[in-house]
Amino acid sequence: MLTSAENETLVRVGPGTPMGELMRRYWMPALLSRELPEADCPPVRVRLLGERLVAFRDTAGRVGLLSEFCAHRGASLWFGRNEEGGLRCVFHGWKYDVDGTCLDMMNEPGAFDFKQKVHLRAYPVVESGGLVWAFMGPPGRRPPPPEFGWTQVPEAHRYVDKTWEECSWLQGLEGGLDTSHVPILHRRLREGTGQPGINPSAPLLRGRAPEVVVETTDYGYRYFGVRELEAGEVYVRGYHFVMPFTQIRPGADFTGGDLVAGHMWAPMDDENTMVYNWEYSLASPMEDPQAVARELGSGPGEIDERFRKARNRDNDYRIDRGLQRTDTFTGIFGVNTQDHAIQESMGPIADRTLEQLGQADKAIIAARKLLLDAAQTVADGGEALGAEAGVSALRAADRVIAPSGDWHAEMLAEMHGDGA
């Protein structure tokens, strides 16, 4: 368990907080590129690390990420006109470019114009992997742009979406790092149900409770769930935790294929998270990307325009008690929705002083320690763990290993494209 002070340090992400300052040393996913589909399209609200921002794509196709509020009287720029190279406030006509520079003041006579003195808070952005990423930290601490494996493959090889989770980012991250829950929460009770989840015949469900192995790295850690099978075989699921909120996991087919997937839990504020979900194929275009959305529970009709789940806490996630008896362990449709239901059930911020942790929680305990230590290092003027680490070669994998095999060596060969 954690102390109350440690819990507070981990979950508070606003400006000036230890965790908020740590987060600001990394590139943050701010929105999907497709939310700004063309030049001069409508702006988009963004909430990130407790800040209210607005994103827009200007006439030249550049993306700006600014404070949501006009420097003049504080009106929301979400109502603004995206026109001729800038975003113009509809209240008094002040206009800003993607760097936050004020370009025009419609309500000020020329002799009294002072636009050259006005600069709205703006954050540098890059587009990669279908996302707009923002750096919100000190300019002198900006790391190289993000390069994960999934950001480097052709667009046809990947699927990316996002879902609003209505609780602290840490509850989402810890759920993702917890390999022992996967064959329980997400299990199908019988083959061929048509419901998202894991079939009873999958090695993950045939294996015993896992031994969890965690190995610290320069980017965070890699970790394994090792499950004994019949006849001396073991089933191993290998993951990566990339600081501060990224999980890389095997694909959702649970068959040892070439799909790699994962999540990023980007804090909107202390009590809300935008979860970015991705899956990609190492070798070829994905046959049916929308199948990923259905499995996660974010397909058509499942997410609204704010990326809130149709199955949410207001309607008890539309739990079907009949399906819970016959088809799936939870009776809730969608793997992500199952996760979110449980994580949100802990409240907006879980009280970690009351927990009783065991061996299966090794990865969660390790993540908390890394995060607390990294926040203290940044507060002391040091570098953020993993901010400049190379992660483009990281893969995740799940494999059945023969009794005579060296599971650790085989998994490392699968999980590091550079052979590390």
Q: What is the CATH number of the domain that holds 365?
A: 3.90.380.10
Whether residue 153 sits in one domain with residue 137? no
Q: How many Cα neighbours within 13 Å face the side chain of 378?
A: 24
CATH number, domain of 105, equals: 2.102.10.10
Domain-terminating residue out of 141, 160, 193: 141
Contacts of 91 (CB under 8 A, 6+ apart): 70, 72, 73, 75
Whether residue 339 sits in one domain with residue 224? yes
Domain that holds residue 392: 149-415
Rounded Cα distance between 97 and 122, Å, is 9
Q: What is the pLDDT of residue 419?
A: 43
Whether residue 43 sits in one domain with residue 104? yes
Structural domain count, the chain = 2
Q: What is the pLDDT of residue 418?
A: 52
pLDDT grade for 47, boundaries at 50, 70 and 90? very high
Q: Is residue 365 pLDDT above 80, yes or no?
A: yes
Q: What is the pLDDT of residue 226?
A: 97
Domain-terminating residue out of 124, 141, 158: 141
pLDDT grade for 251, boundaries at 50, 70 and 90? confident
Is-above-0.85 flag for pTM?
yes
- Contact 366/216 with Cβ under 8 angstroms? yes
User: What average pLDDT does this structure show over 158-177?
Assistant: 98
Nearest to 82 by CA among 64, 69, 67: 64
pLDDT grade for 1, boundaries at 50, 70 and 90? confident
User: What average pLDDT does this structure show over 368-372?
Assistant: 98
Whether residue 163 sits in one domain with residue 51? no
pLDDT grade for 330, boundaries at 50, 70 and 90? very high
Q: What is the pLDDT of residue 145?
A: 96
Q: Are strands 158-165 and 211-216 parallel, antiparallel or unpaired?
A: unpaired
Q: Is residue 39 pLDDT above 50, yes or no?
A: yes
Domain-terminating residue out of 87, 120, 141: 141
Whether residue 111 sits in one domain with residue 64? yes
